[in-house]
Amino acid sequence: MRLETFLERAWGNYLKVTPDAEKIHSLLTARGERIINDHVAFRTFNLPGFSRADLHPIFINWGYRKMDEELTFVEKKLKASYYVHPDSSNPKMFVSELLVEECSTELQNWIGKVVANRKTSSSPISADLFLNRTWNPVNYEDYVRFLDESEYAAWTAAFGIQVNHFTVLVNRLSTFKSLEELNHFLIGNGLTLNAAGGLIKGQPSELLEQSSTQSRKVPIEFAGAQFHSVMGCYYEFARRYCVPGTQELFQGFLPKSADKIFESTYEKDSH
Ligand code: NI
């Protein structure tokens, strides 16, 4: 599958679980903006067949280059890496994975069962994995039970390895001078932003500022053809600054900021 086709289809899927994204797109295009994505992000488990290493060839086939840096989120038990495309109008790919072996035995057993119920049998793995539900619907009771130990695990079990968020590159917007101005505009239009660690994560001296919407509940299919409303995906905004002494925008990520951005899928009252 071509990268363009993938991004178009992934965006369609993403809108179904991120109602705010469509509204924001309309608000921005009404101002004449043309949106360029900074990155798209995926969540997965570090289990055979689904790990970051397993997904790696998909990005390489699209012409991406893996950056050497590896990000670690100790408290959330995650590792992440990212990929950059030679054509800067293509979004970076940010892939995180849960270190399953560091979780409780109960959670490990559950994730093992979820993954064994895989729907896709494609081997070697292909981009279809990101577009269709990766495994059969999980039990709602299990989702609720493990939400407190790892929101990341529960989300990934419920949604599969689909795109978790798209990210608007604020530098490429022409009618906003700053991320703060964009945030004000969004809030003024009734949107709720993730306030964990402040509305804006990161600062100009760190070369990256980010903000995001707060996920909203969307109905998802669970085992037994039951539908329950659970926290879906969020939309992110990134403003990058030039690496000192160069004309090049910083392409990396800030672990401290990303840590808070991960919490955009948290239910506000539960954490
Ligand atoms: Ni992100």
Per-residue pLDDT of the chain (271 residues; tens, 9 = 90+): 999 999 999 999 999 999 999 999 999 999 999 999 999 999 999 999 899 999 999 999 999 999 999 999 998 999 999 999 999 999 999 999 999 999 999 999 999 999 998 876 656 678 888 888 889 999 999 999 999 999 999 999 999 998 999 999 999 999 999 999 999 999 999 999 999 889 999 999 999 999 999 999 999 999 999 999 999 999 999 999 999 999 999 999 988 877 787 887 787 643 3
Ligand 1 centroid vs 210 CA: distance in angstroms? 8
- Whether pTM > 0.85 for this model: the answer is yes
Ligand 1 centroid vs 236 CA: distance in angstroms? 6
Q: How far is CA 103 from CA 140, 146, 149, in A?
A: 20, 11, 8
Ligand 1 centroid vs 224 CA: distance in angstroms? 33
CB distance 198 to 261 below 8 Å = no
Residues by chain with Cβ below 5 Å of ion ligand 1 = 41, 236
Ligand 1 centroid vs 258 CA: distance in angstroms? 7
Distance between the two ends of the chain, CA-based, in angstroms? 39
Ligand 1 centroid vs 266 CA: distance in angstroms? 15
Ligand 1 centroid vs 235 CA: distance in angstroms? 9
